[in-house]
Amino acid sequence: MIKFLQKAKRKVSLEDYVTIRTKGIAEYFFEAETVEEIISALKAAHDMDLPFFILGGGSNTIFPSYYNGVVILMKMSEFEIKKESSGVYLLSQAGAFLPRVARKVTEEGGVGMEWAAGVPGTIGGAIRGNAGAFDTFINSFLQKVETLNVNTFEKNYLSGKECFFNYRESIFKKRKDLLILSAEMKFPYGEEAKEKMEEILRYRQENHPSAPSAGSFFKNPQVKPDFFEKFPEMKKFKEKGFIPAAFLIEKSGMKGKSVGGAQVSTKHANFIINKGGATYEDIVKLTEEVKEKVKENFGISLKEEVEFM
């Protein structure tokens, strides 16, 4: 507890630590550079009977105006890459910056991380949410994950199968007691990965908003086949088995809709941006309005990809 109090900061604005740049205040803020420091912060949170949150790159996270708890910034960011005959092997700590890792894997000839170009997250966050894009997901390359139980402080390893991955889902979203410490992944060799990565970067620059956001806001909903009979204009998505959330939001007339400083991006409707001074309350209200409109128009209940604290 003493070591925690010596290093922890009080009443810290999280504006510089979340990609949507809202000004939520954390009662305690602790930068953990080792597993021992993470455990120290967790024990302090337990002792003070306060909630805690492990923060990575700060995307997909919306904090309230005041968080009466302990925010633990994951600073364990080292990674190692080895070229083997069968592919590119990656051992990475959870806090490693996703675009940096993706660039290095690609430079070494590995295929499978091109989608991560320009995604401001961490390896741990990507695994937790089974991140991916352009029909590629991180779980496809995962071999095992090192975990820490936040209650017992025991370490363990889970195989990819034991992580129960699904679309934007994993065991780590259901088991709040499991924290990702590191991961081992393997990527096959392939050609044109560098070109594909640059193409994805260009696509994001052209089609995604540059204003602060939490990234893709809603999950793309899966629908039953009879949905396309009711809405034939959406049959172009039938092969995918889901409808892009951005399409539903735009067709519901919510593109460009604002509440306070929060706005549904006019560039891509599945982004809620901070156009200046957006608050947690602004974002919550706008989120509910978008969901209500889509439900009213299409009978679909959108689910957030982002996490509201």
Question: 44-53: per-residue pLDDT in tens?
Answer: 999 999 999 9
Task: Give the length of the chain.
Answer: 309
Higher pLDDT, 136 or 293: 293
Radius of gyration of the chain from Cα atoms?
A: 20
Q: What is the pLDDT of residues 249-279, one digit of tens each?
A: 999 999 999 999 999 999 999 999 999 999 9
Look at 32-36, 94-98, 117-121, 275-279 and tell me which has the smallest mean pLDDT: 117-121
- Domain ranges across the chain: 2-74, 79-193, 209-308
- Domain 2-74 identical in fold to domain 79-193: no
Higher pLDDT, 242 or 298: 298
**For the residues 39-44, what does the mean pLDDT come to?**
94
Confidence (pLDDT) at 133: 80
Instruction: Kindly list the distances between the CA atom of residue 119 and the CA atoms of 13, 69, 101, 128, 295, in Å, as whole numbers in the listed order.
Output: 23, 27, 11, 15, 29
The model's pTM is 0.88
Give the bridge partners for 79, in sequence order: 92
Confidence (pLDDT) at 191: 83
Q: What is the pLDDT of residues 236-245, one digit of tens each?
A: 776 777 888 9
The residue behind tokens 């689910």 is 303
Domain 79-193 -> CATH class: alpha beta
Q: What is the pLDDT of residues 47-96, one digit of tens each?
A: 999 999 999 988 889 999 999 999 999 999 999 999 988 899 999 999 99
Using an 8 Å Cβ cutoff, are 265 and 271 in contact? yes
Confidence (pLDDT) at 101: 95
Say if residue 115's pLDDT is above 70. Answer: yes
**For the residues 116-124, what does the mean pLDDT come to?**
89
CATH architecture of 209-308: Alpha-Beta Complex (3.90)
**For the residues 109-136, what does the mean pLDDT come to?**
88
Using an 8 Å Cβ cutoff, are 15 and 23 in contact? yes
Sequential DSSP letters for 256-287? T-EETTEEE-SS-TT-EEE-SS--HHHHHHHH
Q: In whole numbers, what is the pLDDT of the chain averaged over residues?
A: 91
Tell me the fold of 2-74.
Answer: 3.30.43
Catalytic, out of 216, 252, 265, 304 = 216
pLDDT above 90: percentage of residues in the chain: 70
Higher pLDDT, 191 or 188: 188
Confidence (pLDDT) at 192: 84
Q: Would residue 281 show up in a list of annotated catalytic residues for this protein?
A: no
Catalytic, out of 168, 182, 265, 304 = 168
Say if residue 2's pLDDT is above 70. Answer: no
Q: Would residue 216 show up in a list of annotated catalytic residues for this protein?
A: yes
